Chains A and B, each alone.
Chain A
């Protein structure tokens, strides 16, 4: 007795939910591991599968196990070619090392390695992050509508006539009101013309008269009951529905002036790569405008922004001016959520910091939903600038703005490890802020 069953066609991914449970459990630790990983991997590589290792703290499965390095144990091994009873084998020798390991049994390695796929990586990475205040705008102002078909209406512009529906109504009315078909009328007309060719006897004349009377009635009826009556006509109806206004634009402002060394530029770029990735992942319809500046600012494409080198003096306000120009040109405030992220080392021409403050307060910040300023400082400076009030002129100027208007948020970073915490700090969902 036996039977065969072909299970290959069974639904796949039987273990999927167990896998998800495991990831959920390891979540905190995974996030921590990732944070550390950013030190070594270029951030652009976040966008890929990742091998990760989690330690036993959350995903260990403890049990009462015998410790390896205690007590006395006796084992039987195969393949003895050299020893006789009573021999002593040092534990650290060539063969003894093997022996020692075998006899003791290797310590169970609770560290656990596995591969996360890209989706899981990004989910983990951008968990609990959002562009702030996006929702607020769309709830308050509902600036955009999208028209969608919804049923029919009896009135409307001719362009919206729904022919099929109209003819449908027309046919029903014609049948109900007994509009004579064209064929019936033609038949009568035919008979009349035939009779007219005959000799006009009284009998024929009477029949002719009757037929003419019929034809007249038919014609009249057809005139009375129109083929298409205004009553029949139906128009497509469109309903205006508000669409969530996720039209958002992110301005990435980066200082590439001479004072920004390789390290600073690298940090700034990494920050923007992360931001770029985040926007691509979460807000697919978001526009991104890259502006870089020295003593003058320029809108550049992604490639240039991240990879090309340029140098010069520093006038930070030039970037703000450029941003304002682009907003005026392409992104009307009524339609767009405007965000900005700026990275700089805090160096600026004298007096320009005040000008930056004026530009921001003079309307630019009001146009933005959110403005994140990241200052890249020297690792040594971190100790000096540990208080938020102290800092470069630019920092102080921004600080003054930030105190009045919470849409401007600022953070400092000194080493690659800071990037992710700073990023999380700036883009954490409300209620999650301060978790770092």
Chain B
């Protein structure tokens, strides 16, 4: 309304909140977000939940709807245990990339905290979800809830038709391969919860209607041609998305099993951008809440005491202990993101000569908001760091790079916050935020469907980093369950091209259901 001198009435007094107060807070935050920060968000749906419901949300990987699986129960038991013992605090909020954007607010939050949380989740995260190109291209916020609803019901129906154990074995196997179930370079198809599924159902129904036992007695020449075709196609090209390959080519899966694999694959794909942009996403939300809350405070909408409470929580969130601190648990994505965005603001408004050197395009131009809005749209963690991590921030956080050779008894410091080290620290940090560098590179290189039907996989070993053998073998066993025949994984060192290991697995006979 008025950015005039006259201070406005505070939004609330005391720490209690009710829905009127929440509405007032929301409206005030919304005004700042739209008018001052030019944010662009999905419609917000704010839901007040209890601690138990928050743990429910945790256990079903943050989704409001999820099919049933024991692993979610396991997660819930673990979280509940940690929470009861006081080892784990619960988040104040949780936000879901959907349209409308669902924000969970904890009932135990004070009014001041709700202000912070609304600014953080309902505007910070929401803006990022709606505008960042990764989310725009790779996920479909409008369709996710209906899709999950479909998935939940589909899995339930399968359980009724085929038994819980049969569904579980497929889900277990698919979950094990979730990380290998995403397209990294190729844009995935749109979620088409309704039409596609209807088609699928119709096809199954048609098959059931026209089922004739006579077909069974015919020699299986038709199968051969299918196998030859698919085999030829798949042999020629590599496939990074193992679940996709399984879904399309597995010789043994039934239609409903393929559909379940597909569901798991879609969910994995849906979360893929979140992992690539975690630091930016949190940084964006933290920067937004910091800016909004400060503007509200300047305008007198928040009282001094509440502002102190908010700042106290804010500093908790962006706390970064040093590497040799007992509390150290890795680089805090909130801190790094927030600091980088504040740094961009500083470079734009009060640049030093060094900044002008490093960022000639933006230094001193003053348009920090445009730079940030643009960064939020077009970057992911890795590229954002490569582009915007400044020497002054490297100095401030005292970042340094170390290299660890498994074979040596020491780690070596390769770069620190000095003139020679900036570039190196920056690119090392950017590399470490590249999701693909944290995951083993495993691809399907072929499957001889016409021959012995062995599925061949290749693990390109980077920097000599191998796989945990026990977990690898268990995963291969799961893969063999889905494939039905032998599965062979070959580890090849990227530099030397030598075969480091080879492991093959056959499906356990009783698992073929």
Residues of A bordering B, CB below 8 Å: 1-8, 10, 12, 14-15, 17-25, 59-81, 83-92, 94-96, 98-100, 102-104, 112-115
Contacts and interface: CB of A to CB of B under 8 A. Distances in A.
Nearest to A95: B324
A72 B405 contact: yes
B70 interface: yes
Minimum-distance CB pairs A-B, first 3? A79-B322, A71-B464, A18-B73
Nearest to B478: A62
Nearest to B30: A2
Contacts of B459: 64
A70 B60 CA distance: 33
B323 A99 contact: yes
Contact of A83 (B22, B400, B472): B400
B179 A8 contact: no
Interface in B105-121: 107
A70 B107 CA distance: 46
Contacts of A81: 322, 398
B84, B322, B461: residue with the most chain A Cβ atoms closer than 10 Å = B322
20 contacts: A1-B43, A4-B19, A8-B49, A8-B50, A15-B76, A19-B76, A20-B73, A25-B70, A70-B466, A71-B406, A71-B461, A71-B463, A73-B463, A78-B331, A79-B324, A80-B399, A84-B418, A91-B411, A99-B411, A103-B411
Contacts of B322: 78-81
A4 B25 CA distance: 12
A282 B175 CA distance: 39
A8 B330 CA distance: 34
A370 B425 CA distance: 77
B399 A64 contact: no
B313 interface: no
A92 B45 CA distance: 51
Contacts of B55: 15
A2 B45 contact: yes
B73 A73 contact: no
A10, A21, A59, A96: residue with the most chain B Cβ atoms closer than 10 Å = A21
Given A74-B432, A87-B412, A4 B48 contact: yes
Given A70-B465, A76-B429, A91-B409, A6 B73 contact: no
A22 B77 contact: yes
Interface of B: 19, 22-23, 26, 30, 43-50, 52-53, 55-56, 59-60, 68-74, 76-78, 80-81, 84, 104, 107, 122, 164, 168, 172, 175-180, 320-325, 328, 330-331, 397-406, 409-418, 420-421, 425, 428-429, 431-432, 438-440, 442, 459, 461-472, 474-475, 478
B53 A10 contact: yes
A68 B52 CA distance: 35
Given A98-B328, A115-B81, A74 B73 contact: no
Given A61-B175, A64-B471, A102-B330, A112 B45 contact: no
B440 A64 contact: yes
B48 A15 contact: no
Nearest to B23: A4
A89 B420 contact: no
Nearest to A59: B74
A7 B48 contact: yes
A95 B326 CA distance: 10
A86 B412 contact: yes
B52 A91 contact: no
A83 to B, nearest CB: 5
Contact of A87 (B104, B413, B462, B469): B413
Contacts of B417: 80
A15 B73 contact: yes
Nearest to A97: B324
A89 B401 CA distance: 12
A98 B71 CA distance: 31
A237 to B, nearest CB: 44
Nearest to B408: A91
A232 B416 CA distance: 107
A72 B432 contact: no
A94 B168 CA distance: 46
Contacts of A8: 48-50, 53, 107
A73 B461 CA distance: 12
Contacts of A10: 53
Contacts of B122: 2
A4, A100, A103: residue with the most chain B Cβ atoms closer than 10 Å = A4
Is chain A's binding surface mostly helix, strand, loop or mixed? mixed
Contacts of A99: 323-324, 402, 404, 411
A112 B400 contact: no
Given A19-B77, A103-B411, A79 B468 contact: no
Given A63-B471, A66-B468, A84 B413 contact: yes
Contacts of A78: 320, 322-323, 331, 397-399
Given A74-B428, A98-B328, A21 B73 contact: yes
A289 B214 CA distance: 68
Contact of B468 (A1, A65, A95, A115): A65
Given A61-B175, A99-B324, 17 more contacts: A2-B46, A4-B19, A12-B52, A14-B56, A64-B471, A67-B468, A72-B406, A74-B404, A79-B323, A80-B399, A83-B400, A85-B418, A87-B413, A100-B404, A102-B328, A103-B404, A115-B84
Contacts of B401: 74-77
Nearest to B394: A76
Contact of B70 (A22, A67, A75, A86): A22
B174 to A, nearest CB: 11
A82 to B, nearest CB: 9
Contacts of A64: 179-180, 439-440, 442, 459, 467, 471-472, 475
A102 B48 contact: no
A220 to B, nearest CB: 75
B73 A19 contact: yes
Nearest to A77: B323
B428 A76 contact: yes
Contact of B414 (A15, A85, A104, A114): A85
A83 B416 contact: yes
Contacts of A77: 323, 331, 399-402
B176 A62 contact: yes
B56 A6 contact: no
A101 to B, nearest CB: 9
B56 A15 contact: yes
Nearest to B56: A14
Contacts of B418: 84-85
B78 A114 contact: yes
A4 B46 contact: yes
Contact of B420 (A76, A85, A88): A85
A7 B474 contact: no
Contacts of A103: 402, 404, 411
A386 B405 CA distance: 56
Given A2-B45, A12-B52, A72-B403, A85 B413 contact: yes
A333 B48 CA distance: 63
Nearest to A98: B324
A63 B464 contact: no
Contacts of A22: 70-71, 73-74, 77
A228 B53 CA distance: 66
Contacts of B328: 79, 98, 102
A112 to B, nearest CB: 7
B350 to A, nearest CB: 24
A112 B411 contact: no
Contact of A17 (B50, B68, B74, B472): B68
A103 B44 CA distance: 40
A102 B330 CA distance: 7
Contacts of B180: 64
Contacts of A84: 413, 416, 418
